[in-house]
Amino acid sequence: MGEVSPALIVLLGGLLVPLIPNGWARNIFMLALPVLGAVQLFSFEFGDYGAYALFGETLTLTRVDGLSRIFSTIFLIAIALNVIYAWHVRDPVQQAASLVYPGAALGGVLAGDLVTLFIFWEIAAISSVFLIWASRNRRSFYAGMRYLAWQIASGVLLLMGIVLYFRASGSLAFGNFLEAGFDITDPAVLFILIAFGIKSAFPLLHNWVQDAYPESTVTGTIVLSIFTTKLAVASLARGFAGAEALVYIGAVMTAFPIFFAVIENDLRRVLTYSLNNQVGFMIVGVGIGTPLALNGTAAYAFCNILFEGLLFMAMGAVLYRTGTVKGSELGGLYKTMPWTTVFCIIGAASISAFPLFSGFISKGLLIGAAAKEGYFWVWMTLLFAAAGVFHHSGIKIPFFAFFAHDSGKRPKEAPPHMLIAMAITAFLCIFIGSAQIFSGPLGDPLFALLPFAEDVAYQVGKDSHSPYIAYTAPHIITQLQILLYSGLAFAVLQKTGLYPPELKSTNLDTDWFYRVPGRGLAGWAAGASRATWIALWGIFSGRVQALMARIYNVHGPEGEMARSWPIGFMALWTAILLALVLFISFLA
């Protein structure tokens, strides 16, 4: 297939989807695209492919290196899994968007220069909104519009950053900005950082995630949850590795969504908070910037796409069968959806980093990297956040959906294609998590894909307690201590009736997990941050509404600016302008 970019195979193929007859033929076509893309990707050696010229600059469509290869690989896997999961969907807009948008994200990861990155950045933004609009109601329309405004704002900031960077350096190359001699506060680089920051949902730039993702369809939310933030992480890893500010930004990201996740009732929305928290881990790794940390970021992104996707798929199956994902309305579904329950628990175990599951392998790299570089408070925060993940994703999601009090709902098991997709994902979670037991760290299949694959052998040879070696007694015991104590606490509270199924008391066990004295503090932190947010948002949205009303009064169809004015009025304007220009000309 020559030098055709794998991204273009998926993207252009996605555009053709509406032309294929609906049904099996179309589904198989859709499934063939990521497979072809993968074949093409792995036929490339490391290097640059598909050079083209724009504005007299030579640009690179496809750059295959360690970083882009691991992200592309997992993107292609995720695309294929999504196609299987969405086998029942018969909506051409949604089907096309669920290939075009991931294809664009893939193109962004493979982009060899800033302009190519920007082009795919924008295509991803625009194509993804159709997945939100696919719910086809007023709510999703407005959520989509707000989402689009954020995404395009990110795109134009990126564009401004690129223009400034080009003017300052004369180059459109996309490499590490810090190594190119730019300070992070330089406007050019700062614009680009904020653009990346919006897409990766930095704190305070994160709200579009919770606002828009849960408005999408059963299958759309899963697709959305994977690509945008991971494209941003890959871009950050390429451009800003070693930028210390990111360590702290990432640390805040891991911690603050926990409070919101705890008090949230919509389980898909809980997962979007968990998404923020997970991306925070990756950004800490980017900020640390050592080969170990970057390997950790890439490995964590790889595993996260699988287990976070698995959780979203399980919740999607619940939504598909019951029509709701509200924690207070679910419960007891394990009786009729046993397979979904099992897969959801596997996803939960992976995200909580139980030994034998994929999170155990990859999270250790990041936390180890933070400890190694002496970021004590960051390390503490990551542990805190890891425990928080166990609470809101590991326990809350499966418990409230499938166990807890019996809601009386007896839905059918998820349809076969959903089960197949979930089974493959669950298998990968376990395979990645336990392969090392048989192969040893040097033969680990995931490690072979890492951007700094050679670092593995080097570190392992030097240090018998290297984070790359997952199955050491201290690592397993530490992890099990955290998890088992949490589980014990949960069980005790459950038995003694201190853990009623109502949501408000879930604050209780966060106290236990974080060992914060006094059960009030976590509740207070959640309540206070929510109240502050609501107050700020109230002021802001009140202003915005007043402003919009004012704009509408002036510019709306009946407003002064849009009216059909009588001819004398037009002539008057002409006279006024003539007077003005004469005045200016004479004065000048």
Partner 1 sequence: MNLIAQLPVLPIVVPIIAAPITLLLPPGRAPHLWASLFSWLTFAACIALFMQVSANGPISYELGDWAPPIGIEYYVDLANALVLLLVSGIAAVVFPFAYRSVQLEIDERQTPLFYGALLICMTGLLGVTITGDAFNVFVFLEISSLSGYALIAMGARRDRRALTAAFNYLVMGTIGATFFVIGIGLLYQATGTLNMADLAQRLIGQDNRMISAGFAFILVGMGLKLAMFPLHLWLPNAYTYAPSAVTAFMAATATKVAVYVIIRFIFSVFNFDFAFIGAAFTYVLLPLGLAGMFVASLVALFQEDVKRMLAYSSVAQIGYMLLGLSFATVEGLTATLVHVFNHALMKGALFMAVACVVLRAGSHSIHAFAGLSKRMPVTTWAFIISGLSLIGVPLTVGFISKWYLLQAAFEAGHWYAGFLIVASSLIALAYVGRVAEVMLLREPAEEGKYAMPKEEAPLSMLIPMWVLVAANIYFGVRTDLTGGIATRAAEALMAMAGGAP
Least gap, CB of 574 to partner 1 (angstroms): 6
Query: Is 114 within 8 Å of 165 (Cβ atoms)?
Result: yes
Least gap, CB of 53 to partner 1 (angstroms): 9
Output 156 or 539, the one with its CB closest to partner 1. 156
Output 106 or 123, the one with its CB closest to partner 1. 123
What the block records as the tokens of 224 is 């959305």
CA–CA separation, 416 and 87 (whole Å): 10
Least gap, CB of 122 to partner 1 (angstroms): 5
Least gap, CB of 551 to partner 1 (angstroms): 6
Burial 226-241 (b: 16+ CB within 10 A, else e): bbbbbbbbbbbbbbbb
Strands 57-64 and 47-54: antiparallel
Output 148 or 428, the one with its CB closest to partner 1. 148
CA–CA separation, 272 and 281 (whole Å): 15
CA–CA separation, 37 and 7 (whole Å): 7
Output 129 or 333, the one with its CB closest to partner 1. 129
Least gap, CB of 337 to partner 1 (angstroms): 31
Q: Which ranges constitute the DSSP H helices of 111-186?
A: 114-133, 138-169
Residue found by looking up tokens 């990756």 in the block: 282
Output 204 or 554, the one with its CB closest to partner 1. 554
Alpha-carbon Rg of the chain, whole angstroms?
Answer: 25
Question: Which one, of 417, 419, 399, 261, lies nearest residue 333 by Cα?
Answer: 399
> Helix 267-288 crosses helix 358-372 at what angle (to 10 degrees)?
40
Output 100 or 450, the one with its CB closest to partner 1. 100
Least gap, CB of 377 to partner 1 (angstroms): 37
CA–CA separation, 393 and 511 (whole Å): 16
DSSP string, 307-341: HHHHHHHHHHHHHHHHS--BGGG---GGGT-HHHH
CA–CA separation, 391 and 261 (whole Å): 9
Output 142 or 485, the one with its CB closest to partner 1. 142
C-alpha of 514 from chain center: 25
Which residues of the shown chain bind partner 1 in the complex (CB under 8 A)? 18, 54-55, 93, 115, 118-119, 122-123, 126, 129-130, 133-134, 136, 141, 144-145, 148-149, 152-153, 156, 159-160, 163-164, 167, 551-552, 554-557, 559, 561-562, 564-565, 567, 569-571, 573-574, 577-578, 580-582, 584-588
Output 123 or 470, the one with its CB closest to partner 1. 123
Residue found by looking up tokens 């007023």 in the block: 138
Least gap, CB of 584 to partner 1 (angstroms): 5
Least gap, CB of 294 to partner 1 (angstroms): 28
> Helix 92-110 crosses helix 6-16 at what angle (to 10 degrees)?
170
Query: Is 132 within 8 Å of 146 (Cβ atoms)?
Result: no
Output 195 or 301, the one with its CB closest to partner 1. 195
Sign of CA pseudo-dihedral 176, 181, 182, 188: negative
Q: What are the φ and ψ backbone dihedral angles of 51, each rounded to 5 degrees? A: -75, 140
Q: List, in sequence order, every residue forming a beta bridge with 59; answer none if it has no partner.
A: 52
Q: How many CA atoms lie within 13 A of 25 on its CB side?
A: 7
Output 151 or 341, the one with its CB closest to partner 1. 151
Output 120 or 514, the one with its CB closest to partner 1. 120
Element (H, E) at 49: strand 47-54
CA–CA separation, 364 and 447 (whole Å): 13
Least gap, CB of 64 to partner 1 (angstroms): 22
Least gap, CB of 565 to partner 1 (angstroms): 5
Least gap, CB of 190 to partner 1 (angstroms): 13
Least gap, CB of 544 to partner 1 (angstroms): 14
Query: Is 242 within 8 Å of 287 (Cβ atoms)?
Result: yes
Residue found by looking up tokens 């086998």 in the block: 87
Output 473 or 584, the one with its CB closest to partner 1. 584
